Amino acid sequence: MNHTIYLDILHNSLKESAKNLGLDGNFIFQHDNDPKHMARNVKMWLLFHCKQQLHTPPQSPDNNVIENLWATLETAVEKHKIRNKAHLKQVLQEEWGKISSDTTKKLVESVPRRLEDIIKAKGLATKY
C-alpha cells in the first residue's frame, strides 16, 4: 500500500465507517507514523476532514493497543494453512470476528497503565 491508496481508503471509507459504528463525526482518529500516513496529501486531507486526531510519537508501539490485536490476529492466522489470497482474506475476517469485545475492552483499559509505564521508563521500551 502507498499513500495514494491509503488516502483513497480514508476518502471513501472513513466517514461511512464512523457512521456505521455510531460515531457520526464524534471520534478521535489515530494512526501511526508509517510513511504513507505522514505523506503531505494524507496530512492535508485529515486536516480538513478529521478535526480530532491523536498524534503519536514515532516508533511507539508500546502505547498503541492495535499492535496487540495484530499480534493476536497473526497468531490465529498462522494456525491455518493458507491456500491463496481469497482464503487469507476469509481467514482474516473469521479470526478478526473471534476477537472478543472483552479482549478489546481490556486493551483499552490498559492504556493508562501503559502511559504510566512509558513515563516511568522515560520513553524507553516497556513490557507492552
For 3, other C-beta atoms within 10 Å of its C-beta total: 17
Each residue's pLDDT, cut to its tens digit, for the chain (128 residues) gives 999 999 999 999 998 888 888 887 788 888 888 889 999 999 999 999 988 888 776 666 667 888 899 999 999 999 999 999 999 999 999 999 999 999 999 998 988 888 888 888 877 777 76
Model pTM score = 0.60
Which residues, 6 or more positions from 83, have their beta carbon under 8 angstroms from its beta carbon? none
Strand partners, 30: 54
**Cα–Cα distance list, 81 to 22, 26, 66, 89, 95 (Å):** 36, 40, 24, 13, 13
pLDDT value, residue 25: 73
Q: Which of 3, 117, 104 is nearest to 60 (CA)?
A: 117
Which pLDDT value is given to residue 105?
92
